[in-house]
Amino acid sequence: MGSNLAAARVSFVDARAAAALSARTARFLWAVLRAALVWVRGHLRWVLTLVGFAVILRLLGNQIGSREVLALAFGPALVAAVWSTCSPMSYERLCAGPARRARWRRWIRKNWPHLSRECGLSVSRATKARTFGLVPKEGSRFVASQSQTVTVWSHPRLMDVTTVGSLLRLTIRTRTGQTVQDLENAAAPLAAAAGAHAYRCVQMTPSAVEVVLVMRDSLSQARPAELPEAAHLNAVTLGRRQDGTPWHLTVTGRHTLVVGCSGSGKGSVFWGVCAGLAPAVRAGLVRLWGVDLKRGVEVGMGRGMFAAVATNPSEAVALLTRLLAVLEERGNRMAGITRLHQPTQADPLHVLAIDELAVLTAYTDPETKKEASRLLAEILTQGRALGVVVLACVQDPRKEVVGLRGLFTQTIALRLRSAEETRMVLGDGIATIAPAHRISPAMPGTAWVVEEDGSADRVRADWWSDQLVRQVAARHPAPVVEDLLAARGGQGKTHTCDVPASDSVGVRAAPVPGKRTSQMPQKERRPRASRTSRTSQRGTSDDGSSAA
């Protein structure tokens, strides 16, 4: 009886394993078939020509030859299908990627005269040309040559075409009578004709421009942030650029304004900077100060890495007063000795991170607003060289809301509501090359930034989950905590905390008087699921400035 039961159990287990194996095999075969069909569709001309050739050979009675030709038609499809199913990464790297890039290069070279004409880059002139040969003329007489009016086109020169990853780079030289501005203006129709997701222009010489077309959108997928390990002071890695390279943001010596409408992903940039600096915070080289007037909901997630957090306007004024005192004391110390502050453990870099600046500078009572704006203006004007920098996030970029806009030295434009807002944030003439108002709501964390050389680039910040922020705060707690109540009297009071050696997870209770956020129930956030944007429903590009 017992042995029967054991045998039945064994056969049941075998049957389940066999069923799982057949399901896996069926799935694999289906994937291979689908990949083969995709390959055939992409190489239809090749396949049809060889099939036609095989049919002719068969009609002529050459059976073996026709079979070989059919193998030549479908063999590559089978190899490609199996390869791409078993090892998609190596297939993309060694086969599909290089083939695709070669196709882009060929296409642009072949179609350049046509593209340049249709995008308004070429000019034509009518000219007389003489044709030679015996040409019939009235009656039965022939003449040896005759003159005709012909149209001659002159195009800007396509000097070089290169590809890297998903980028197609065109180096174009102006034709006579053309400026680099003309080439830059034609980049949008050029990108649309090439089916590029986005583009950017970089002036190479006074008469040559590099137009970079982003042929495949590498930013479409959200990417989770990683736990920061090393202490970096100068720059933090916030995410990636549209060419797939890392996006580093300089922090030292820069005041950063992050603008984006609600849900555009300001939190990702905020935590990218604060959590990116966390190892340096723990090392004592950076001191983070937080202002979160949305009841501390955002900063509360990573409270442990901040030296002080203000969650109401009076606390914010106290915090700014304290920071200004640091500035004044440091200024007095540095006068005549050095012009640029070098962060050390005894004298760290102070980073003031403000979530929703408008609550402080526009939506609070007039007195607090005036005082906060005054203090912030002083910090913004003097802080850069003295090692006090500001990171501020805001939804509304209008002057009446952020009067201090001009004092920030770098700006990140997340999704904005209109081209006018893009102009306000990034500067005049930028809305066409960095259309932040066209970023898809389905891609939070995506932004446009303007580089020092004036070129614009599209970037996407990595996603910081609440859990990861808490983990960073637990791993890299601030060694020093400031007492804001004492700062109200103009004097700061500093508590030194023992930094735990362990990497245990959990928010460290920071002894800040009057602090409510650590007790507040926090809602766990998740990356927003992609949704079809209204623009993409209309058949235009989601986020870039151009669409195929």
Q: Which of residues 174-233 bind ligand ATP (CB under 6 A)?
A: 222
- Find the shortest distance in angstroms from Cβ 459 to ligand ATP: 10
The C-alpha atoms of residue 390 and residue 409 are separated, in whole angstroms, by 10
Q: Taking CB under 6 A as the rule, does residue 526 contact ligand ATP?
A: yes
Stretch in the footprint of ligand ATP (CB under 6 A) among 113-121, 186-194, 341-349, 521-529 = 521-529
Q: Which residue is nearest to ligand ATP (CB)?
A: 445
Name which position in 97, 528, 530, 535 contacts ligand ATP (CB under 6 A): 528
Are 354 and 393 within 8 A, CB to CB?
A: yes
Closest by Cα among 376, 408, 251, 385 to 330? 385
Output 274 or 388, the one with its CB closest to ligand ATP.
274
Output 504 or 532, the one with its CB closest to ligand ATP.
532
- Find the shortest distance in angstroms from Cβ 263 to ligand ATP: 4
The C-alpha atoms of residue 331 and residue 338 are separated, in whole angstroms, by 10
Name which position in 279, 444, 477, 544 contacts ligand ATP (CB under 6 A): 444
Which ranges of 387-475 would DSSP assign to H, the alpha helix? 419-426, 466-475
Are 474 and 506 within 8 A, CB to CB?
A: yes
Q: Which of residues 37-96 bind ligand ATP (CB under 6 A)?
A: none
Torsion of CA 74, 80, 81, 82, to 10 degrees: 110
Output 70 or 459, the one with its CB closest to ligand ATP.
459
Name which position in 527, 530, 535, 536 contacts ligand ATP (CB under 6 A): 527
CA 424 → CA 222, 357, 507, distances in Å? 27, 16, 39
Output 91 or 463, the one with its CB closest to ligand ATP.
463
Q: Which of residues 363-422 bind ligand ATP (CB under 6 A)?
A: 395
Q: Name 444's Cβ contacts closer than 8 Å, sequence gap at least 6.
A: 222, 263, 264, 265, 268, 414, 415, 527, 528
Determine whether the annotation assigns residue 260 to a binding site.
yes
Output 358 or 481, the one with its CB closest to ligand ATP.
358
Output 260 or 348, the one with its CB closest to ligand ATP.
260
Output 330 or 470, the one with its CB closest to ligand ATP.
470
- Find the shortest distance in angstroms from Cβ 526 to ligand ATP: 6
Phi, psi of 214 (to 5 degrees): -90, 100
Determine whether the annotation assigns residue 165 to a binding site.
no
| 497 DSSP 8-state letter | -
Q: Taking CB under 6 A as the rule, does residue 256 contact ligand ATP?
A: no
- Find the shortest distance in angstroms from Cβ 457 to ligand ATP: 16
Q: Taking CB under 6 A as the rule, does residue 525 contact ligand ATP?
A: yes
Are 91 and 84 within 8 A, CB to CB?
A: yes
Determine whether the annotation assigns residue 530 to a binding site.
no
- Find the shortest distance in angstroms from Cβ 431 to ligand ATP: 20
The C-alpha atoms of residue 257 and residue 136 are separated, in whole angstroms, by 75
- Find the shortest distance in angstroms from Cβ 212 to ligand ATP: 23
Are 389 and 255 within 8 A, CB to CB?
A: yes
Output 396 or 482, the one with its CB closest to ligand ATP.
396
Stretch in the footprint of ligand ATP (CB under 6 A) among 20-28, 151-159, 206-214, 455-463 = 455-463
Determine whether the annotation assigns residue 261 to a binding site.
yes
Are 354 and 389 within 8 A, CB to CB?
A: no
How many residues make contact with ligand ATP (CB under 6 A)? 19
Closest by Cα among 271, 361, 379 to 322? 379
259-278 footprint of ligand ATP as x/- string (CB under 6 A)? -x-xxxxxxx----------
Determine whether the annotation assigns residue 86 to a binding site.
no
- Find the shortest distance in angstroms from Cβ 355 to ligand ATP: 8
- Find the shortest distance in angstroms from Cβ 411 to ligand ATP: 15
The C-alpha atoms of residue 167 and residue 9 are separated, in whole angstroms, by 57
Name which position in 279, 302, 387, 445 contacts ligand ATP (CB under 6 A): 445
Determine whether the annotation assigns residue 266 to a binding site.
yes
The C-alpha atoms of residue 318 and residue 204 are separated, in whole angstroms, by 49
Closest by Cα among 89, 75, 90, 62 to 36? 75
| 437 DSSP 8-state letter | G
Determine whether the annotation assigns residue 262 to a binding site.
yes
Output 118 or 466, the one with its CB closest to ligand ATP.
466
Q: Taking CB under 6 A as the rule, does residue 463 contact ligand ATP?
A: yes
Output 164 or 227, the one with its CB closest to ligand ATP.
227
Are 410 and 426 within 8 A, CB to CB?
A: no
Q: How far is CA 98 from the centre of its chain?
A: 24
- Find the shortest distance in angstroms from Cβ 236 to ligand ATP: 14
Output 154 or 536, the one with its CB closest to ligand ATP.
536
Closest by Cα among 237, 195, 22 to 108? 195
Determine whether the annotation assigns residue 263 to a binding site.
yes
Which ranges of 60-137 would DSSP assign to H, the alpha helix? 63-86, 88-91, 97-118
Stretch in the footprint of ligand ATP (CB under 6 A) among 147-155, 280-288, 312-320, 457-465 = 457-465
- Region of 429 (left: φ > 0; alpha: ψ -120 to 50; beta: rest) is left
What sign for the dihedral angle of Cα 403, 409, 412, 418? positive
Q: What residues are designated binding site?
A: 260-267
Q: What residues are designated binding site for ATP?
A: 260-267
Q: Which chain residues interact with ligand ATP by CB under 6 A? A: 222, 260, 262-268, 395, 444-445, 461-463, 525-528
